Amino acid sequence: MVRSTFLVNAAYADAAREHGLTPQQGQLLCVLMAQPYGMGELGAMLGLAKSSMTGLVDRTERNGLVRREPDARDTRAVRVALTEEGGRLADDFYADACRRIENLAAGLPPADKDALAGLLGRVVADNEAPEVFTESTGGE
């Protein structure tokens, strides 16, 4: 599993680099594809401390990919949302990253791919991994 993590991380990082993103910015954009989130929610989902989350959002905002919006439920808080440009880039990056990761198993027969997807899905469910990315057609 550890060695496979290196393969997945490398494919993800390559996709991010080709789209002019850091892997962390790619994660942020993918999470925001579903909806805007508050800074605390994002930090928890991405496993980042408050200062790291602020820096990530600041850099991504400077690049015109996200914007801060007032939180209707808490006037002291902000929500982070994709800009139009950020939404387009998120869609392109997500599709590219999924394709690259799915290609890691290209040499497997279809039945083995299905078995792998099923097993990985169980690992994700058993460990209560947060649902932060939209569903891909290729499994987990």
pLDDT at 139 over 80: no
Sheet holding 37-38, edge to edge: 37-38, 74-82, 66-71
pLDDT tens sequence across 57-76:
999 999 999 999 998 888 88
63 vs 138, residue with greater confidence: 63
pTM for the whole thing?
Answer: 0.86
- What whole-number distance in Å separates Cα of residue 19 and Cα of residue 90? 9
Does the pLDDT at position 3 exceed 80? yes
Question: 3-state DSSP call for residue 22?
Answer: coil
On the question of pLDDT at 136 being above 50, the answer is: no
Instruction: Domains for the chain: give ranges and CATH numbers.
Output: 2-106 (1.10.10.10)
CA pair distance 106, 113, nearest whole angstrom: 8
